[in-house]
A and B are shown apart, each in its own frame.
Chain A
């Protein structure tokens, strides 16, 4: 089965750059999406098709995908960005999510 692996936690200081990774076999051959989820809320799409931002998502969110690793980058991280972040891609016929990274803004 196709699996996506994310580090369980990450931390960043306000104003700095946060980088979160998502690993999977030949992930660079697939489109990766990223979702932000705050406590008690449903996930929100922040990046799709590796590096596209939906309308309303700040420019500080960006993504890349190559080889076996996709990366979500938040530039100039703000306190409001503290949340869980999940990557997602498609296996043979199934959408698959990573286990999520909890981002703490210290």
Chain B
């Protein structure tokens, strides 16, 4: 059973950089898209972006200028960096895996495993 666990600071100052890491256990980080999603009362669930084991990334256009997602296959981890944060970036941040279509093995359009989430507050 795949498990994901987020880690990182719970408090970030405005204008600084939010950095989180997701550690994947119980399976290889290869062959899947690995995703960051956040949830706040104001925005609800918001997809931030994802990364494939090849290093190819996709980002939400609304965040693209501030987001970087990277992958460390040796450590079975992937990470999120969000620069120039404001109070609007206060949210619970989840890492998740995009599943595979069970009939053809193609990349699915759903998220089958999620971390427990880590709350991040942006405040001075």
Q: Which residues of A are interface residues toward B (Cβ below 8 A)?
A: 30-31, 33, 35, 41-45, 48-49, 52, 54, 86, 88-90, 93-100
Instruction: Among A30, A31, A90, A97, point to the contact of B46 (Cβ < 8 A).
Output: A97
Residue contact A48 to B44, C-beta cutoff 8 Å: no
Q: Which residue of B has the minimal Cβ distance to A95?
A: B47
Instruction: Among B37, B46, B94, B111, point to the contact of A33 (Cβ < 8 A).
Output: B111
Query: Contacts of A89 on B, CB cut-off 8 Å?
Result: 109
Residue contact B99 to A42, C-beta cutoff 8 Å: no
A52 to chain B, nearest CB (A): 7
Residue contact A43 to B112, C-beta cutoff 8 Å: no
Query: Contacts of B117 on A, CB cut-off 8 Å?
Result: 42
Q: List residues of B (64-99) whose CB comes within 8 Å of A's CBs.
A: 94, 99
Q: List residues of B (28-45) whose CB comes within 8 Å of A's CBs.
A: 35, 37, 44-45
Measured in the bound complex, the distance between the Cα atoms of B94 and A35 in whole Å is 14
Residue contact A42 to B94, C-beta cutoff 8 Å: yes
Residue contact B44 to A49, C-beta cutoff 8 Å: no
Measured in the bound complex, the distance between the Cα atoms of B47 and A89 in whole Å is 11
Q: With A48-B99, A49-B101, A52-B102 given, is the CB distance from A97 to B111 under 8 Å?
A: no
Measured in the bound complex, the distance between the Cα atoms of B112 and A31 in whole Å is 14
Query: Contacts of A45 on B, CB cut-off 8 Å?
Result: 99, 110-112
Query: Contacts of A94 on B, CB cut-off 8 Å?
Result: 47, 60-61
Measured in the bound complex, the distance between the Cα atoms of B102 and A99 in whole Å is 28
Instruction: Among B35, B44, B58, B102, point to the contact of A93 (Cβ < 8 A).
Output: B58
